[in-house]
Amino acid sequence: MSTHYDVIVIGGGPAGYPAAIRAAQNKLSVACIDEWQNFDGSYAFGGTCLNAGCIPSKALLESSELFQRAQHEFATHGIQVGEVKLDLAAMQRRRAAIVKTMTGGILAVFKSNGVVGIQGHGRLLAGNQVEVTAPDGTKTLISAKDVVLASGSTPIRLKTVPHDGKFIVDSWNALEFDAVPKRLGVIGAGVIGLELGSVWRRLGSEVTVLEAMDQFLAVADQTIAKEAQRHFKKQGLDIKLGAKVSSAAVAGDLVNVVYVDKQGEHTLQVDKLIVAVGRRPFTEGLLAADSGVELDARGFIQVDEHCRTSVPHVWAVGDVVRGPMLAHKGKEEGVMVADLIAGLFAEVNYKVVPSVIYTAPEIAWVGQTEEQVKAGGRAYKVGSFPFAASGRARAMEAGQGMAKIISASDDDEILGIHVIGPMAGELIAEAVLAMEYSASTEDLQRTIHAHPTLSEALHEAALAVDKRAIDAINR
Ligand SMILES: Cc1cc2nc3c(=O)[nH]c(=O)nc-3n(C[C@H](O)[C@H](O)[C@H](O)COP(=O)(O)OP(=O)(O)OC[C@H]3O[C@@H](n4cnc5c(N)ncnc54)[C@H](O)[C@@H]3O)c2cc1C
């Protein structure tokens, strides 16, 4: 291992590893240090996203949806399959294999780009020196002209709900259950709580989601949130709003959860309890006292819009800095920083970061919600199109939900696009591209969309903004 590099990246998650690869593509010498260790003791690059987040959750969402569809939907298509049985061990082996392939892929890409991957803990010292502690405890000092901090985030734990990793668990544990809990409690009806609740509900758990806020999915456009709530209720997710958990305790093989709502205090008994109340920036052991890097009041590393920290030539990207905790946001920041280090132009357009919730139906959006536009005081128009009127959605037995477009009354600028329905997470890419290029709804109206495709819903929603939808009644 060399002792000096152009760039050292601490953290090999979806923010750190793209920074390392892009820096190497920019002909800089790069080392990327990561300490992630799986439950089986193996080390892996890829961070939360590949090992314990985006990828394993989507693997289980896909498998559990197929299980659900085989049981309840195949007959509608005229397919008789007999008794559908769950082999959870096989489902979990598939999840683990996908994770292993994806994390192994990072090492291959590192190798082809000449990035030195170092397994161990990195600590930033003064003067852009980094102390690396290898898994066997050996310490080495390396240095770089530029250091990128990408140490990510970790689940928030509640003091009154003591985590034991067996009965009271976090999202990572909940992805690796080896049996379907009969009764599952989830604290938090955010993205992670809803996705994990959906997986285990589809596989047979009775799921109760306890959400402290009175409003469901407050971050989303409320037309979409209301539609989502209706579908989740129909699927059997018991979502209790305004339910504040005051304590939880393991008793034998059960968890007693005490929560308070408008009616008073209640006790819920479950077999497993997932705490999914959000994540916090992770900086433990990352910064020596004299590194000079400043944190904000909430523990995030303080950065400007180009991810520069308070110390020259030290940058920070991903979940450990402000902004939405999303893999793609971190990736763009990592790539931006690597280009800036190489003296190239780069920036991230934070106005068009898409959000996706991979439930069924999927939910995805970009830009402002109708509530935000209203609060901003700008006059606006809305167009929406139901998937019930989409031939492709009907053919897929997925005619639920809608696409909704909000645009400015004065210049027709697209302000926000919101989709709940089949493949919403894929459809939103068109919306992101349109907004990235400052498209108007007229631009979308004049763009040919193949028939029959789900993307026609966006086309028709754009037409509906001016009450010119062809395949639905204009209101
Ligand atoms: C269940 C779940 C599902 C999710 N699904 C999605 C999704 O579908 N889409 C999406 O966009 N986002 C999703 N997320 C969020 C996504 O995982 C994060 O936004 C993303 O992983 C953040 O990337 P990061 O590189 O900033 O941090 P991380 O992925 O957390 O990676 C940080 C890495 O740095 C390492 N590290 C930390 N400190 C040190 C140190 N001092 N020395 C060496 N290594 C260190 C860590 O071990 C880790 O490997 C999900 C999260 C969870 C928990």
Parallel, antiparallel, or unpaired for β 414-421 and 362-367?
antiparallel
Compute φ and ψ for 219, nearest 5 degrees. Answer: -75, -20
pTM of the model: 0.97
What pLDDT score was predicted for residue 345?
97
Q: Whose CA is nearest to atom 52 of ligand 1?
A: 53
pLDDT digits (tens, 9 = 90+) for 167-176: 999 999 999 9
Which ligand 1 atom is nearest residue 17's CA? 25
Residue 81, both tokens:
């399959």
Q: How many CB atoms lie within 10 A of CB 49?
A: 24
Strands (E), 125-243: 129-133, 139-149, 153-155, 168-169, 183-187, 206-210, 238-240
User: Is pLDDT at 2 greater than 90 in this prediction?
Assistant: no
The answer to whether residues 467 and 405 touch, using CB atoms and an 8 Å cutoff, is no
pLDDT digits (tens, 9 = 90+) for 319-340: 999 999 999 999 999 999 999 9
Instruction: From 57, 37, 328, select the one nearest 190 (Cα to Cα).
Output: 57
User: Which residue stretches of 5-124 are H helix?
Assistant: 16-25, 47-52, 54-72, 88-113
The answer to whether residues 31 and 48 touch, using CB atoms and an 8 Å cutoff, is no
Query: Cα(203)–Cα(273) distance, rounded to whole angstroms?
Result: 16
Query: Cα(227)–Cα(169) distance, rounded to whole angstroms?
Result: 29
Q: How many CB atoms lie within 10 A of CB 231?
A: 16
Residue 293 CA to ligand 1 center (angstroms) comes to 21
Query: Cα(83)–Cα(116) distance, rounded to whole angstroms?
Result: 51
pLDDT level of residue 90 (50, 70, 90 thresholds): very high
Mutating to test ligand 1, I would choose from 45, 54, 191, 274 the residue with most ligand atoms within 8 A of its C-beta, which is 54
Mutating to test ligand 1, I would choose from 22, 140, 151 the residue with most ligand atoms within 8 A of its C-beta, which is 151
The mean predicted confidence, pLDDT, of the chain is: 97
Which ligand 1 atom is nearest residue 45's CA? 49
Instruction: From 272, 306, 309, 274, select the one nearest 293 (Cα to Cα).
Output: 309
Residue 233 CA to ligand 1 center (angstroms) comes to 30
Mutating to test ligand 1, I would choose from 35, 36, 49 the residue with most ligand atoms within 8 A of its C-beta, which is 49
Strand 168-169: give its sheet, edge to edge. Answer: 168-169, 272-275, 183-187, 206-210, 238-240
Q: Whose CA is nearest to atom 20 of ligand 1?
A: 327
Mean pLDDT along residues 376-403? 98
Residue 41 CA to ligand 1 center (angstroms) comes to 18
- Is residue 33 helix, strand or coil? strand
What pLDDT score was predicted for residue 475?
83
pLDDT digits (tens, 9 = 90+) for 269-313: 999 999 999 999 999 999 999 999 999 999 999 999 999 999 999
The residues that are catalytic are 451
Mean pLDDT along residues 65-72? 96
Q: Whose CA is nearest to atom 44 of ligand 1?
A: 34
Which ligand 1 atom is nearest residue 152's CA? 27
Compute φ and ψ for 5, nearest 5 degrees. Answer: -130, 165
Query: Cα(7)–Cα(129) distance, rounded to whole angstroms?
Result: 11
Q: Whose CA is nearest to atom 6 of ligand 1?
A: 54
User: Is pLDDT at 28 greater than 80 in this prediction?
Assistant: yes
Burial of residue 71 (number of CB atoms within 10 Å: 0-12, 13-18, 19+) = middle
Task: Provide the angle, in degrees to the nearest 10, between the axes of the packed helices 88-113 and 16-25.
Answer: 30
Compute φ and ψ for 19, nearest 5 degrees. Answer: -60, -45
Mean pLDDT along residues 122-148? 97
Residue 109, both tokens:
């890409």
Write out residues with Cβ below 6 Å of ligand 1.
10-16, 33-36, 47-49, 53-54, 57, 121-122, 150-153, 171, 192, 282, 285-286, 318-320, 325-328, 330
User: Is pLDDT at 1 greater than 90 in this prediction?
Assistant: no
pLDDT digits (tens, 9 = 90+) for 228-246: 999 999 999 999 999 999 9
The answer to whether residues 233 and 225 touch, using CB atoms and an 8 Å cutoff, is no
The single-letter DSSP state of residue 260 is E
Residue 46 CA to ligand 1 center (angstroms) comes to 8
